[in-house]
Amino acid sequence: MDNFMPSVNEQQLLGLVDDFIQTASSRHSALEGVVGLLASNYRHFNWTGIYILDNGILKLGPYRGEPSPHVAIPVDNGICGTAVREGKTIVVPDVSADSRYLACSIRTKSEIVVPIFKDSKIVGEIDIDSDNLDAFKEVDQRILELVAKKLSGLF
């Protein structure tokens, strides 16, 4: 379980997200900061990125992890597109069993995609892949949805 031990607690993490949002010089640099924070705080987050929705295409913004071939995902594709179409967080415990999955790394075993809403419309997503099967639990979904709510202020 050591694998799941974060170095800052939830409240501290949310405070740091606020700091990035308030002090960064641009949306991009605030998102960079938040991606780095999430990736370094949770060891089961092996690829952590933000997609920005632009005219029906999810465009890759800041990320940590291996470069992804999926830098522009139409909303009718992938787990990422599914989260936009369904307007909710999608958790995939085993990507090998999900035909919607677009592969980024052969090591990825599970994924969570959390929409960022602005005025009830989706403007982007937090996308996280894990090398562990069934890595994303309710606690991860809750914190990521709180982070997404804060990121809404950048749009």
CB contact at 8 A, 109 and 131: yes
CB atoms near residue 37 (< 10 Å):
19
Binding mask 49-68 for ligand SME (x = CB under 6 A): x------------------x
129 touching ligand SME, by CB under 6 A? yes
The CA distance from 2 to 155, in Å, is 36
- Of the candidate residues 78, 112, 114, 148, the single one contacting ligand SME (CB under 6 A): 78
Q: List all residues 6 or more positions away from 84 whose beta carbon is below 8 Å from its beta carbon.
A: 53, 58, 75, 115, 122, 125
Q: Near ligand SME by CB under 6 A, which window of 17-25, 30-38, 76-84, 132-140? A: 76-84
Task: Read off the amino acid at residue 14.
Answer: L
* Span of 24-32, 97-105, 134-142, 146-154 interacting with ligand SME by CB under 6 A: 97-105
Q: Rounded to an integer, what is the distance from CA 88 to the centroid of its chain?
A: 13
Q: Are 94 and 103 in contact (CB under 8 A)?
A: no
d(CA 38, CA 64): 9
The answer to the question of residue 41 lying near ligand SME (CB under 6 A) is no
By C-alpha distance, which of 84, 106, 82 is closest to 95?
106
41/68 with CB nearer ligand SME: 68
Instruction: Tell me which stretch binds ligand SME (CB under 6 A): 10-18, 20-28, 70-78, 138-146.
Output: 70-78
- Closer Cβ to ligand SME, 33 or 65, answer by number: 65
Check binding of 79 to ligand SME (CB under 6 A). yes
Residues that bind ligand SME (CB under 6 A): 47, 49, 68, 70, 73, 78-80, 101-102, 104, 111, 127, 129
